[in-house]
Structure 1
Amino acid sequence: MAEIRQNGAKTVLITNSGYEYTDKIMEYLLDFPTDEKRHWTSYWDCVVVDAKKPLFFEDNTILRRVDTSTKVQTIGHHMGPIKSGEIYSG
């Protein structure tokens, strides 16, 4: 994943799982025993949880930002550009 991003490609993780489950699984899968500790979100330009696929791709899905400290979606819906390192809920 790191090489893909280093070569300029955009990477996206879209999952139907909730944030807490996704966070635990990705920590387990991507917590490599190296000197450089990287948070799993650094491997993707955009992370969307609770995507409700396939409707996510068919409807005008409203995104909400997930506050990673409280694990709760923000009130309202996200407007503006998608920010790398942020978690969004579909």
Structure 2
Amino acid sequence: MKKDNDNPLGDIWASIRHAFSNLLVIPFFALYLLIIIGGIHWLWLAIQLKIFWMFCIGVIPFLWFITAPVGAYALIIDTPKWVYSLFA
């Protein structure tokens, strides 16, 4: 029985828009997780290299916008040489 507020094509388009918006959110969520894990990797790298000042810089909150992406880069690709030359 048809109801007055039935709109099957509108429901389909709403579902497609919802799925598309989820597809846009997933990469940003993955990037967010990668940055968080990159910050943890920065601290782990400081512990492994036994560099106290590198660890201290990784703990300071307003420097996380630098240390977390560098830690993520070091996790995925390799630790940049400037990190070794700056802290070691």
Tell me which interval the TM-score lies in, with the shorter structure as reference length. Answer: under 0.3
Which structure is higher in strand share?
1
User: Higher relative contact order by CA 8 Å / sep ≥ 6: 1 or 2?
Assistant: 1
Which structure has the larger Rg over C-alpha atoms?
A: 2
Which structure is higher in helix share?
2
Return the TM-score normalized by structure 2. 0.23
